[in-house]
Amino acid sequence: MKIAVDAMGGDFAPLEIVLGSIAAVHEYDTMDIVLVGDESKIKEILEAEGELENPRISIHHASEVIEMHEHPSIALRKKKDASIAVATRLVREKICDAVIAPGSTGAAVASALLGLGRIKGIERPCIATPLPTANGVTIMLDSGANANSKPKHLVQGAIMGYNYAQLLLGKPNPTVGLLNIGEESTKGNEVVLETYPLLQQLKTIPFKGNVEGRDIPKGTVDVVVCDGFVGNVVLKFAEGLVSVVQDILKEGIKQSSIISKLGALLIVPVFKKIKKRLDHTENGGAPLLGVNGVFIICHGSSKSKEIMTAIKIAGDLVERKLIEHISSSIQEEGTLTYDNAE
């Protein structure tokens, strides 16, 4: 199995991307890596790490990079040899099996749509983000690919999220909820109100009704469906809250008495476990579900650990045939019948 990695994407590219790729080939013996980007810069890092001759790591040169400030669609049209476009092309041409895309989310989504196309029956792909909860993990989608979704897009998202949850969580029948401002079916905006009965009609998806924002950390359901605007706000709020709580705890310990500090030392192992559980680097990246290929989007600030984890996730999804599962489920549900749902 070969994974195409955009080595030039993200705040710490190419160093951290290459280091994460090196770690992955040493950790997972079934995956080879194709590093896409500036050949001379990538070679320099591989040589410094003693990995230049590693037969499981190859380089595919790409002369251009899409920067974070650039408009995704315009940049992709102008920069045909951009690293993210070339990495996507390798999957389309069956040279590689999956793409790892750190850096600009907009550029990644646009490249996947243009380069891989959509699974039949899917209009708008979604970013599916695993969130730590009291019960383990809940998958939220969409977390940023589409700011304005119609009811049929949320229905398609529910089906994709259900299939992803089956593979990621190992649950044969994961539950699905619709994010809303109340549990009652009569609450919500127009889109949510129209989506609710459509989700009830699904034959294979166990729809549990509306869930509120507070239900997400409780792990009330396995999959939370929402549009990308709401999902991205929830995601960024959660990331910020975890960071602030950690800072508050540290500051509180610093300002406490010696006895309190000694007591804090006793629960350091507990804090470390909690921090690891809430650490977004443990998840590596989020798949863009709905495109015709495995495509993992990583945080722009991703370092080697996240890249290594993202590569593992990509390999697992290829091996478990995620695309085939989604395609089969979409056909079984006949979601094309929801095209009239505006």
**Amino acid, res. 157:** G
What string of DSSP letters covers 199-220? HHT-SS--EEEEE-TTHHHHT-
pTM tops 0.85? yes
Output the pLDDT for position 250: 73
The helix/strand/coil state of 131 is strand
Domain 1-122+290-320 carries which CATH code? Answer: 3.40.718.10
pLDDT computed for residue 278 by the predictor: 57
pLDDT number for residue 275: 59
Q: What is the pLDDT of residue 319?
A: 94
pLDDT tens by residue, 301-316: 889 999 999 999 999 9
Domain ranges (residues) in the chain: 1-122+290-320, 126-281
Quick: pLDDT tens for 37-62: 999 999 999 999 999 999 999 999 99
Same-fold call for 1-122+290-320 versus 126-281: yes
Contact at 8 Å (CB) between 131 and 139?
yes
Which pairs from 43-52 meet CB under 8 Å and 24+ separation? 45/14, 45/15, 45/18, 45/19, 46/18, 46/22, 49/18, 49/19, 49/22, 51/22
Distance CA 193, CA 182 (A): 11
**Segment among 26-40, 74-88, 267-281 with least mean pLDDT:** 267-281
Which of left, alpha, beta for 121 (phi over 0: left; psi -120 to 50: alpha)?
left
- Assess whether pLDDT exceeds 60 at residue 317: yes
Here the tokens at position 261 are 């500090």
Cis? peptide before 142, omega within 30° of 0: yes
| Domain 126-281 top-level CATH class | alpha beta
